[in-house]
Amino acid sequence: MSRIVLVHGIGQELESADALEAAWLPALAGGIRIAGHPATADRVWRGARPGEDEYRMAFYGDLFRAAGQMGGGAERVAALTPEQEELAQALALEWLRSARDRAPGPEDRAEAGRRLRALDAAGTGRMGPREAGRRPLNGLARLRWFAPAGMRFAQTFAERALVQVTRYLTEEPLREEIQGRVAALVGTETVALVGHSLGSVVAFQAAHRLKRELPLLLTLGSPLGLRTVVYDRLPQPRAVPATTRRWVNLADRDDLAAALLDLAELFADPYDALESDWTVDNGAQPHRAESYLHTRQAGSALAAVLG
C-alpha cells in the first residue's frame, strides 16, 4: 500500500518500478519544495534516498515487451489486428492535427499541415484501408517534436506509442491486469493517484473503480481529451470520478500528446472538483513526466494532500 500511487506512460517496457521511482520521486519532491513546503518534500526525498513515506510506481511496462526481447536489443512492436490498426491510424491523425495547430516550431506546424493535406488527397485522411495505416505514422516521424534524437528514434517512439495506447484501449485482459496492479497499491492511506500520459488514462479509470474517497487525482500530459480515440472509448460516465475530491490536470501547451489542454470542456464535473484551466511550461521536454512533477502547480496539489 502506498501514500501516493504513481502510474507511468508509454515506452517504459525496458524500465522497472524501482528505476522509475528513482527518477520520479526527486522530481516530485522538487515540485513540493518549489511550492514552499520543504518539510513535506523531505518526507518524499531527502538527499539521495527516499524519505519516510511510501510512494510506489504501478509498473506495467513489462506487459508490452515482445516475447524473446533481450534487455539491450532492438525493441519489437507487437502486431495489431485490423481493427486495432484503424484505431492506431486515428491516433496518428489526431497527433498530426495537434501538431498542425500548436506544435512549438513553425516547421513542424507546416510539415504536419502538408502531411494532412497529402493524406486527404489520397483518401486516407480519415479511417482508410489498412495498408494506409503507416502513412500517418511516417508523417509523425518527420516532426521534430517526435524526433529529438533523429528519424529512427521517432519512428520507434511513435509506433510504440500508437501500439501501447491502442492495445490498452482494446484488449480487456491487458487492461484488467494493469488496473489490478494499480489497485494492489491503493489502500486506506492512499491520498493521491498520479498518472502521466497513458498512465493518466489508467489512473482516471482506477479512480472510477474506487469505493473510498480519493483526495487527489493528478493527471499530467493526458490524452484523455482525444475524442474519437480515447474519450469516446471511456466507459460511462465520462465525468469526474464520484469518490475523487479533487482532480488537477496539467498540460504543457507544447505537449502534443495532451491533445486537449482543458479537460473541463469534455468531463462533467458535478462536484466542482476538476481544475484543468491552466498550462505549465516544461521547457525543451514538454511531455517528460519529471518536468511535470517538478512544477509549482503539481507540488502545491501534492503538498495539500500530504499535509
My answer on whether 203 and 297 are in the same domain is yes
* Region 98-115 average pLDDT: 88
Average of per-residue pLDDT values in the chain: 86
User: Binning pLDDT at 50, 70 and 90, where does residue 26 land?
Assistant: very high
277 in helix, strand or coil?
coil
pLDDT at residue 129 in the model? 38
pLDDT at residue 120 in the model? 77
186-191 contacts: CB < 8 A, separation 24 or more? 186/1, 186/2, 186/5, 186/210, 187/1, 187/2, 188/1, 188/212, 189/1, 189/2, 189/3, 189/54, 190/1, 190/2, 190/3, 190/4, 190/5, 190/214, 191/3, 191/4, 191/215, 191/216, 191/305, 191/306
- Over residues 54-91, the pLDDT tens digits come to 899 999 999 998 765 444 433 444 567 887 888 878 88
Question: For residues 6 and 51, which has the higher predicted lDDT (pLDDT)?
Answer: 6
Q: How far is CA 52 from the centre of its chain?
A: 27
- Position 140 pLDDT exceeds 90: no
Question: Which grid cell sits at 116?
Answer: 494532412
My answer on whether 183 and 271 are in the same domain is yes
The span from the first CA to the last CA of the chain, in angstroms, equals 18
H-only helix segments in 78-211 = 82-102, 106-121, 134-141, 151-170, 172-183, 198-209
Residue 123 Ramachandran class (φ > 0 left, ψ -120 to 50 alpha, else beta): left
Question: Which grid cell sits at 168?
Answer: 490498452
Is 70 a domain residue? no
pLDDT at residue 134 in the model? 53
Q: Strand 247-252 to strand 274-275: parallel, antiparallel, or no bridges (unpaired)?
A: parallel
* Region 16-38 average pLDDT: 96
pLDDT at residue 53 in the model? 73
Is 19 a domain residue? yes
Given a contact cutoff of 8 angstroms between Cβ atoms, the answer to whether 147 and 154 are in contact is yes
User: Binning pLDDT at 50, 70 and 90, where does residue 237 land?
Assistant: confident
My answer on whether 150 and 126 are in the same domain is yes
My answer on whether 90 and 186 are in the same domain is no
My answer on whether 281 and 196 are in the same domain is yes
- Position 297 pLDDT exceeds 70: yes
Looking at 167, 184, 213, which one is the last position of a domain?
Answer: 167
Is 76 a domain residue? no
User: Binning pLDDT at 50, 70 and 90, where does residue 289 land?
Assistant: very high
Give the number of domains in the chain. 2
pLDDT at residue 158 in the model? 66
Helix orientation angle between 151-170 and 198-209, rounded to the nearest 10 degrees: 20
pLDDT at residue 150 in the model? 42
My answer on whether 183 and 298 are in the same domain is yes
User: Binning pLDDT at 50, 70 and 90, where does residue 98 land?
Assistant: confident
pLDDT at residue 155 in the model? 55
Question: For residues 305 and 151, which has the higher predicted lDDT (pLDDT)?
Answer: 305
- Over residues 2-16, the pLDDT tens digits come to 999 999 999 899 999
Q: How many CA atoms lie within 13 A of 154 on its CB side?
A: 17
* Region 103-128 average pLDDT: 77
Of 44, 93, 16, 63, which Cα lies nearest the Cα of 202? 63
My answer on whether 44 and 185 are in the same domain is yes
- Over residues 36-45, the pLDDT tens digits come to 999 999 999 9
pLDDT at residue 51 in the model? 67
Residue 86's domain comprises 82-167
Matching residue, cell 494492489:
184
The model carries a pTM of 0.88
Of 222, 246, 289, which Cα lies nearest the Cα of 57? 289
Matching residue, cell 469518490:
243
- Over residues 161-220, the pLDDT tens digits come to 778 988 999 999 999 999 999 999 999 999 999 999 999 999 999 999 999 999 999 999
My answer on whether 179 and 235 are in the same domain is yes
Looking at 115, 144, 167, which one is the last position of a domain?
Answer: 167
pLDDT at residue 44 in the model? 93
User: Binning pLDDT at 50, 70 and 90, where does residue 108 land?
Assistant: confident
Structure letter (DSSP) for residue 268: B
